[in-house]
Structure formats: C-alpha cells, structure tokens
C-alpha cells in the first residue's frame, strides 16, 4: 500500500536535491560547517550572485534602455576606452558589498586604486578583486561577456592604503570564479574543492547547481588565440600556430571575451593563449583580476595555467594592475605550447654560448 508520508518525503527530497541546490547551500555543504568562515564565504558568494543578477538584468535590456551601450569617452588606468557597461558593473559590485560587512576593499580592473569601504560602513576581513565586464567589446553587439572575481583575505592592516598585501601569488586566493552572461547566465566558482557551475533560473531568481566537480579533458581540439597578432609574437608562438595549422584535429575558436573562451575549454578541453606582443610584451590580461582567478579554477578542474615559462599561480605581481602572458587549459595542450617556448629558449641559449 502507498505510504503518503513516504511519498511526501520522497517528493520533498527530490525537489530539493534535484532542482534546488542553491549557491549558498552549496558553499555551506562544501565546507561541512557553519563556522564563521563558512558563513562568510557563503555570504560573499551570495553578494557576488546578487551583483551578477543586477548586471545580467541590465545586459538583458541593454538595447532598450538609455545609457547602457557605448563608450563613456574616458580611458581607464590601463589606457583602454571605458564602456558604459564597465562603469555600471564596476559600481554594482561596490554597491553589493559596501554595506555587507564582508570586505574591507574592492580592487577592480576599472579603478586605479582599490576602493576602501568607508568608515561609516561595516568593514570586513576580505578583499574582492574583479573584472566587472570581461570582453566589453562584445557588449554593443549582443554577444557573450563575463565578470571575473577572486577573494583574498586582508593580510595586515594596510594602514598606508597601498594594498601592498595584494602583491602576492595566486595561492593566496581563497575563492575564485566567473559569471558568463550568455544565452543563460552562469556562475562558476571554486573555494578550493573542485569547480562547480550554476545556472540562473530567472523564474526563481536563484543560481541553481547545474554541473558539479567539472574536470577539464587532458586534451581538446580547441586553440583559442587572436591570430591577428601573429606578426607581433615571438617565434615560439608562431611555431606553435604553424604546428596546429599543419596537424589534423585542431579547431580555432575565439570570441573576444576570455570568460566565454575559457568556459568552452573548461567543459570541452583545449587551450587559450594570449602571449606577449610587440605592443604589450606582457600580454594584455591582468594577473589579479583575470589570469590568477581563472588559473585557480583551471587547476581545480585538473588543467593548467602558465605564462609559458612559469605557473600563473606562482607569479607575484609588482603592481595591482600587472599583466602576464597566459596559456591556460588542458594539461597536454598547455604543455605543447610550453614545449615550443622551451625549444626557442634552448636555441637562444646555444646561440649565446656559441655565437
Ligand atoms: P576586458 O574587456 O576586460 O578589457 O578584457 C578583454 C580581454 C579578454 O576578454 C579577451 O580575451 C581579450 O581581451 C581580447 O583581446 P584582443 O581583442 O586583443 O584579442
Ligand atoms: Mn577582461
Ligand atoms: Mn573588463
């Protein structure tokens, strides 16, 4: 005979476990604890999710509302033209965190110096580092963009306001992730226990778990690089590109937004490469807001991230806006790119010894 109590229990469990693992519940489950640290991390992720929902909402209506698209006419500290959406998203993260009592500072690609939480607001122990809109050239043409974030604990007092404690390697990150504003809005994060993806269910207004413990394949077909920079690269990177052109099984994908290209590689394997160029010898991507958070995720997913000669996670920046070359993705594909760099370095060493 049917047991109504059992049926009810089954339905309840099914609905919660199958459909409704929310982000905050997931963070607490991962930490197996309700300690202050666990509660803080869960609250931090909730605030990031709130900012993501606000940015997604504006992007969804960007062709319909005033002042959403186009440039502001200003350039940022990197010398790049600032888009209205960059300014909006930058401010959204500040607003989401200002009254939270969770952070003491926010450091963003769009701000020359970190934003310090004012003294009349509760001040927390963490720093949020973020790229508010990644791939902003895609905004005006309705293609995918992202946000990238990392959380670090403040070390020391930062009394002189120089944020010198942020100039440490990627192992200091306690959480990292990104939001992908695509056909659906997804939030992918890690607190050092695997990589997990959530999809925004607009009817619930909640990020719901959609892929847990994502593992990147050891090799994939995709190489993701702006080949328009070929003339600006070192010979080693040109050698690599010639190699993939001459071998079967490779396919090029490049969207102009790192988050989108990274997301494809995380799920399907391959490699994203942004090397140094004549114009930018250190490449274009910023260590603290782009390369290090994504390196944290890629390593957690079983992949690798390298400058070509050093693990990204080991790089210590000399400024908060430091850039690095980036080679990130499947183990074998990152190793292949590195092998061409090593080969050219060996040749140069021989030339120096035996001119
Ligand atoms: P951002 O929009 O935050 O400045 O980042 C753009 C980055 C990255 O998303 C992308 O992979 C890369 O710049 C594209 O640069 P190129 O146009 O030089 O290929
Ligand atoms: Mn970016
Ligand atoms: Mn940006």
**pLDDT of 7 over the 70 cut:** no
Boundaries of CATH 3.30.540.10 in the chain?
A: 4-211
Read off the pLDDT of residues 167-182 as tens digits, 9 standing for 90 and up. Answer: 999 999 999 999 999 9
In this prediction, residue 9 has a pLDDT band, given cuts at 50, 70 and 90, of low
Q: Please say whether the beta carbons of 218 and 332 come within 8 A.
A: yes
Asked if residue 208 lies in contact with residue 216, where contact means CB atoms within 8 angstroms, the answer is no
Region(s) of the chain under CATH 3.40.190.80: 222-353
Among protein residues, the one with the nearest Cα to ligand 1's atom 17 is 256
190-238 tens-digit pLDDT: 999 999 999 999 999 999 999 999 999 999 999 999 999 999 999 999 9
Instruction: Give the tens place of pLDDT for each residue, 22-53.
Output: 998 999 899 887 788 889 999 999 999 999 99
Q: What is the pLDDT averaged over residues 312-326?
A: 97
Cα gap 103→99, rounded to integer Å: 9
Token reading at 32? 């197996």
Q: Residues with beta carbon < 5 A to ion ligand 2?
A: 131, 134
pLDDT over threshold 80, residue 301: yes
Minimum-distance ligand 1 atom for the alpha carbon of 261 = 11
What letters, b where the CB count within 10 A reaches 16 and e where it falls short, cover 174-210?
Answer: bbbbbbbbbeebbbbbbbeebbbbbbbbeeeebbebb
Q: How many Å lie between the centroid of ligand 2 and the Cα of residue 289? A: 8
Q: Can you give the pLDDT at residue 14?
A: 53
* Ligand 1 nearest-atom number relative to CA 146: 9
Q: Is the pLDDT of residue 110 over 80?
A: yes
Place of tokens 């440490």: 168
The alpha carbon of 129 and the centre of ligand 3 are apart by a number of angstroms equal to 12
Select from 82, 109, 135, 263 the residue to mutate for testing ligand 1; criterion: most ligand atoms less than 8 Å from CB: 135
By CB neighbour count within 10 A (0-12 exposed, 13-18 middle, 19+ buried), where does 285 fall? buried
Which ligand has an atom closest to residue 256 CA? 1
pLDDT value at residue 18: 55
- The CATH class, in words, for 222-353 is alpha beta
| pLDDT mean across residues, the chain | 92
Q: Rounded distance, CA 36 to CA 258, Å?
A: 34
Whole-structure pTM value? 0.93
What is the sign, positive or negative, of the torsion defined by CA atoms of 229, 234, 236, 238? positive
- Of 250, 246, 237, 269, the closest CA to residue 342 belongs to 237
Per-residue pLDDT of 127-155, as tens digits, reads 999 999 999 999 999 999 999 999 999 98
**80, 129, 137, 286, best to mutate for ligand 1 pocket (most atoms within 8 Å of CB):** 137
Q: Tens digit of pLDDT for each residue in 244-291?
A: 999 999 999 999 999 999 999 999 999 999 999 988 999 999 999 999
Q: Nearest ligand, CA of residue 135?
A: 1
Q: Which residues does 105 contact at the CB level (< 8 Å), separation at least 6?
A: 114, 115, 116, 117, 127, 128, 154, 158, 163
**269 and 222 Cβ atoms separated by less than 8 Å:** yes
Q: In what order do the strands lie in the sheet containing 222-224? A: 251-252, 222-224, 270-274, 326-329, 304-306
> Distance from the CA of 196 to the center of ligand 3, in angstroms?
23
Please list the residues that pair with 198 across neighbouring strands.
187, 209
Contacts of 187 (CB under 8 A, 6+ apart): 23, 48, 49, 52, 177, 178, 179, 180, 197, 198, 200, 207
Q: Tell me the ligand closest to 260's alpha carbon.
A: 1
- Ligand nearest the Cα of residue 258 is 1
Kindly list the distances between the CA atom of residue 71 and the CA atoms of 85, 86, 127, 148, in Å, as whole numbers in the listed order: 8, 9, 28, 21
Distance of CA 141 to CAs 63, 86, 184, 221, 256, Å? 10, 15, 17, 27, 12
Q: Phi then psi for 32, rounded to 5 degrees?
A: 50, 40
Q: Which CATH architecture best describes the domain 4-211?
A: 2-Layer Sandwich (3.30)
- Which run of H or of E encompasses 339? helix 331-353
**Percentage of the chain lying above the pLDDT 70 cut:** 95
């Amino acid at each position: 005979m049917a047991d109504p109590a059992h049926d009810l229990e089954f339905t309840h469990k099914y609905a919660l476990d199958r459909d409704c693992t929310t982000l905050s519940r997931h963070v607490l489950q991962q930490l197996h604890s309700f300690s202050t640290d666990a509660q803080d991390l869960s609250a931090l992720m909730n605030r990031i999710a709130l900012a993501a929902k606000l940015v997604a909402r504006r992007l969804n209506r960007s062709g319909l509302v005033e002042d959403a698209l186009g440039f502001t006419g200003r350039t940022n500290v990197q010398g790049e033209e600032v888009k209205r959406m960059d300014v909006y998203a930058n401010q959204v993260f500040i607003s989401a965190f200002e009254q939270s009592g969770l952070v003491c500072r926010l450091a963003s690609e769009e701000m020359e110096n970190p934003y310090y939480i004012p003294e009349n607001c509760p001040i927390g122990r963490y720093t949020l580092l973020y790229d508010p809109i990644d791939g902003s050239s895609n905004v005006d043409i309705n293609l995918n963009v992202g946000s990238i974030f990392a959380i670090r604990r403040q070390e020391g007092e930062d009394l002189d306001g120089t944020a010198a404690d942020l100039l440490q390697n990627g192992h200091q990150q306690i959480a990292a992730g990104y939001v992908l504003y695509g056909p659906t809005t997804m939030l992918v994060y890690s607190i050092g226990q695997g990589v997990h993806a959530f999809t925004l269910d607009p009817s619930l207004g909640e990020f719901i778990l959609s892929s847990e413990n994502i593992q990147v394949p050891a090799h994939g077909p995709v190489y993701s690089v702006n080949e328009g920079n070929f003339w600006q690269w070192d010979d080693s990177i040109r050698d690599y590109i010639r190699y993939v052109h001459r071998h079967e099984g490779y396919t090029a994908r490049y969207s102009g937004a790192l988050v989108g290209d990274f997301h494809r590689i995380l799920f399907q394997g391959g490699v994203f490469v942004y090397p140094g160029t004549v114009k930018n010898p250190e490449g274009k991507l910023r260590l603290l807001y782009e390369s290090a958070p994504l390196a944290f995720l890629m390593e957690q997913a079983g992949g690798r991230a390298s400058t070509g000669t050093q693990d990204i996670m080991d790089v210590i920046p000399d400024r908060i806006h430091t850039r690095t070359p980036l080679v990130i993705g499947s183990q074998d594909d990152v190793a292949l790119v590195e092998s061409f760099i090593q080969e050219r370095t060996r040749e140069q060493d021989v030339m120096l010894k035996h001119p």
